[in-house]
Chain A
Amino acid sequence: MAEPVISMRDVTIRFGSLVANDKVSLDIEKGEIMALLGENGAGKSTLMKILYGLYMRESGEITVDGKAMPRKFSPSDAIGLGIGMVPQHFMLVDSFSVAENIVLGEEQKASRLLLNKEKIFSMVEPLCKEFGIDVSPRQKVENLPLGVKQKIEILKALFRQTKILILDEPTTVLTPQEVDELFKMLRSLQKKGLTVVIITHKMHEVLAVTDRITVMRHGKHIATFNTADTNTQELARTMVGKDVASVHVEQSDAPLGEPSFVIDRVNTPPSEDRCNLKDFCLKLYPGKVVGVAGIDGNGQTELVEVLTGVRRMHSGSITAGGNTITENTTDSMRRLGIGVIPEDRIEQGLVMEFCVRDNIMMGYKGDPRFERHGIFRMKAVDRYVDELVGKYDVRPARRSAVCRYISGGNQQKVVLARELERPALQAVVASQPVRGLDVGAIQFTHQTLLRLRGEDKSILLVSSDLDEIKSLSDYIAVIRDGRIVAFKKADEFSKDEIGLYMSGAIADEGCAV
């Protein structure tokens, strides 16, 4: 066994009453690629942020290159020891050039006081060449694709003579092809003697690129495997703590019937910093799940906002059940029978300070079952809410629980209960419905969507997780630059092919539906 370049012993950190890392011990060997695998909230990012000096540990020891680290140190100290971190959300100054971003904080290497742009460019250029990154150092970062931004982040670390590179969820924003490219780059870095740590919750990827895998759960170190000696089942079991049955759609070969829901050539006004919908067409069918795949920021948010009614379309129409709408207000969309699970339940899904009952009753104004002359019929309301709390297994099972203080999974159940139990529900729009949830809640959400599919509702699933789309959808639509560029049966659409459409490597097929 090679000597560990980093050794962490019994590291503990608490946020309030939550023990984020509970006596975690971890050795990272020189020159290996290691994965830190775990669910959301397992404490893997926290552990690495302690190592990078962003959080201060409560107890435990850390040694880097045999040197003991004090309890309090800053990211600059960590950088000085050769530790570099590529954060999940990139830390780039959009209005600066590629080179300025890479050099920022170290400009004195180019010249002591004055900003010597030419020298900075000439310092960064060979670095780009060496790692095969096809981007001009003079270009502004602003409009570069996410895959390139990530490489700039890696270059930033390499420019600082990083020996241990930590990547936090590096693949979530990438297409499958970009993931391959990233892994190729990581392997070439390994050959140059770097140590790499990947924080992730995706098992398939870590099997492809790592030497060892460390699994964390609930803030604890559970096990470390040699990648060669393990498999997905074992990893999944270790990650979750029990066997997990994943939810899958049973595809049927029955031909598509009449669409229940038609989005026809919808346009939204262009805006400076967001992608607008351009002649967007899509049809939904009863009892079918249509998954929308795409790189984040290609119009998914706008699509969901249009279907919710919070973003106006300036042309096009939406038809459902014989009604055609050209002016989408939240009211008119709800009358079409759409239930929306928004991508951000905290910002858009719930009023966090309201209790479960009040959150469920939002959007039911004027419903004669619950209201008479503008006054709530509290008994009927309470009875209804209690029923839903039971049906959706919201815990704690109290209608008066304030949403801010219940877990993310239960918050999502409140959203599901409100949106999916509305009378005359025809279609469900689910946007990133399991983001940030634990395995139990993910399963519940997926099962709920499939239950509705069984009840002949039309379901639109928008997700940046290709695995989720693949396993839940009957049909997959790929969105790029505000329009659907491909629409195929899910089992005839390979991940690689989807990736090529997502990145634009295969050209637009127009209104493909």
Chain B
Amino acid sequence: MELSTLISSMLRLGTPLLLAALGVLVSAKGGIVNMGMEGNMLFGAFMSVYVTYLTGQPMLGLLASIPAGIIYSLILGAFIIKGRGHQVVCGLGLNFVVIGCTTVLLSVVWNSSGYSTDVPRLPQVKLPFLGQQSISLFITAVLVVAVWFFLEKTNTGLRVRSVGENPAAADSVGVDVVKYQFLAMVIAGALGGLAGAELAVGQMGYFIKQMTASKGFLAYSAVIFAGYNPYAVVLTTMFIGLLDAVQMRAQTMLNIPGQFLLMLPYLVTLLALIFVGDKKKPKAAGKTYVRGSF
């Protein structure tokens, strides 16, 4: 059934994107433009494969990606929040550090310049109509609701949002800006780590050099499209996933060079961003807060 396979691969391609986008969303709500999501995913992907390789347990690999992502995100947070570095520059820079590190580690662990050995994948479930999916699809569904609930329905979520909208106002009523920004980065790091793990041990079953292929940036675009709404993020990431699925199908069917089709999701995203714009962005996102300008 053609439609069913298309939806099935849309879900597979969209899920890691969705997890990463949720991470980007939480950090943006806390006032941080998380351009380091790409590295965050890649590091999570590597650690999940490595732990799975050591233990033979993909579930342990999935779990390991959480602290890995958090550590990465805390380092980025330290540069941005404590060191007051430029958010975009720090994020982009750290991505390159991770690309370098994982490439080196790849050759140290597996003595290869491009691929790890195969590791067992996460348990897969065969669903009616939706095809074979990794169990992390369900984890992701729960996390969407959890992120929404956290941001909109908890006191801590309100504080995180206040820090992203107007840190000076938050500071003036005793909300610790640094603390809540780091909290947002911890959550973003965990989600980004999971996103990488879903890609590596959820679907592929191995690690490839630079396997995230700019998905961290696509996740950012998806968040902008979605107007920073966690439910709308589901739609936008799945739409990008669908484009990806379509281009894969087209590669086998049409006589167009694969490289052009590979561009499709990126191109559509870029065009849409030009026309949609970033209107719902939290007001203080991307800005460094220095106390005393009060």
Contacts and interface: CB of A to CB of B under 8 A. Distances in A.
B174 interface: yes
Interface string B143-178: 000000000111111110110011011111111000
Interface stretch (A94-102, A125-133, A303-311, A494-502): A94-102
B102 to A, nearest CB: 38
Contact of A115 (B154, B165, B175, B291): B154
A54 B154 CA distance: 28
Contact of A107 (B158, B165, B169, B294): B158
B287 interface: no
A240 interface: no
A85 B172 CA distance: 9
A254 interface: no
B292 interface: yes
B283 interface: yes
A76 B169 contact: no
A143 to B, nearest CB: 15
B173 A105 contact: yes
Contact of B172 (A91, A100, A106): A91
A4 interface: no
A104 B175 contact: yes
Contacts of A160: 173
Which of B152, B157, B292, B294: most chain A Cβ within 10 A?
Answer: B294
Contacts of B165: 93-96
Give 3 nearest A-B pairs by CB, closest first. A105-B173, A76-B174, A91-B169
B166 A114 contact: no
A392 interface: no
Nearest to A112: B155
Interface in A102-136: 104-108, 111-115
A320 interface: no
Interface string B105-145: 00000000000000000000000000000000000000000
8 contacts: A54-B291, A54-B292, A74-B174, A75-B173, A75-B174, A87-B294, A96-B162, A107-B158
A87 B174 CA distance: 15
Contacts of A156: 173
Given A54-B292, A92-B166, A115-B153, 9 more contacts: A75-B174, A76-B174, A79-B174, A91-B172, A94-B165, A108-B155, A111-B155, A115-B154, A115-B155
Interface string A35-75: 00000000000000100001100000000000000000011
Contacts of A108: 155
A91 B166 contact: yes
A455 to B, nearest CB: 41
A291 to B, nearest CB: 31
Q: Which of under 10, 10 to 19, 20 to 34, or 35 or more describes the interface residues of B?
A: 20 to 34
Interface residues of A, number: 29
B294 A104 contact: no
A113 B153 CA distance: 9
B129 to A, nearest CB: 37
Nearest to A157: B173
A414 B294 CA distance: 29
Contact of A105 (B153, B168, B170): B170
Nearest to B173: A105
Interface string B258-294: 0000000000000000000000000100000001101
Given A55-B292, A104-B173, A94 B153 contact: no
Interface of B: 152-159, 161-162, 165-166, 168-175, 283, 291-292, 294
Which of A96, A112, A156: most chain B Cβ within 10 A?
Answer: A96
A91 B294 contact: yes
A94 B280 CA distance: 13
B216 to A, nearest CB: 26
Contact of B283 (A94, A101, A107, A115): A94
Nearest to A74: B174
B155 A114 contact: yes
A107 B157 CA distance: 11
A114 B162 CA distance: 16
Given A54-B292, A115-B158, A105 B175 contact: yes
Contacts of B162: 93, 96, 104
A49 B294 CA distance: 9
A34 B175 CA distance: 29
Contacts of B166: 91-94
A142 B162 CA distance: 14
B155 A107 contact: yes
Nearest to B163: A93
B164 to A, nearest CB: 9
Nearest to A120: B158
A100 B165 CA distance: 13
A104 B166 CA distance: 12
A48 B165 CA distance: 26
A341 to B, nearest CB: 26
A389 B45 CA distance: 66
Contacts of A93: 161-162, 165-166, 169-170
A92 B169 contact: yes
A115 B152 contact: yes
A54 B294 contact: yes
A92 B155 CA distance: 17
A42 B161 CA distance: 36
Given A93-B165, A96-B162, A96-B165, A104 B170 contact: yes
B59 to A, nearest CB: 29
Contacts of B174: 74-76, 79, 105
A113 B175 CA distance: 15
B6 to A, nearest CB: 38
B292 A100 contact: no
Given A54-B294, A104-B159, A115-B158, A87 B152 contact: no
B13 to A, nearest CB: 33
Contacts of B173: 75, 79, 91, 104-106, 156, 160
A115 B162 CA distance: 13
Contacts of B168: 91
A113 B155 contact: yes
Contacts of B154: 113-115
Nearest to A108: B155
